[in-house]
Structure 1
Amino acid sequence: MNLLKIAALIFVFATSFAASSTAALAEETASSPAAATAEIISRIEKGLVEVSKSDFSAAQVQLKAARFASEAIAGSSETAKKAHATLMQGQIQAKKGDIQKATEELNKAIALYKSL
């Protein structure tokens, strides 16, 4: 019975930590567009590495975080909107398991974010 209580307590702590980490990321990216852009590029590059290793679940985590950060600046310019759409296409291709198309789309997205 004590083991069950400890497991439940650990689960609650882990869940609250995960929720606060996501909120901290959202707060950080909303503060500065330049910092948000750097975060997005970093996440896409990490996702690209995972795609090249055919580790699509790890790639999805990185690309989802990049999309989350991208939503904060997606409405600021036409280039940002296009970069966000390209990132979404890259994530879709990675989810399908198409390494070549995902790599192309993610490289396009990186180039667009670097131009911001």
Structure 2
Amino acid sequence: MPEMFGDQVHFREPGMPDKAGISSFMDMPNTRLLALNIDALEAKYARAAECLVANFAFFLGASNDNLDDIRRLPVGAACGIKVFMGASTGNMLLDSTDVLERIFAEAPALIANR
């Protein structure tokens, strides 16, 4: 059976697990339990390990306020850093040019933009 891979999904657990259904995915950070820090990212991985049989990875979200978390992110702990330069859920709008430049200079992972 061919595998389906979602490179930009919005994981709906907890709360709406019936909305997702794919064998491999890379979850966006702007869903319930915003992934703006390492603790939230680890919680998403822990929850996924409890209830999923799919292959999974999670993006760490960028904001104007979490550069320290981005710097401390262990290599391989996230599939990338997701930068929202337009409105998104919660505190995920990154509109600081200084922070954006520092993320591009210092991020230990791939940077994805919208």
TM-score band by shorter chain is 0.3 to 0.5
- Report which of the two has the higher share of helix: 1
- Report which of the two has the higher share of strand: 2
| TM-score, scaled relative to structure 2 | 0.32
Larger Rg: 1
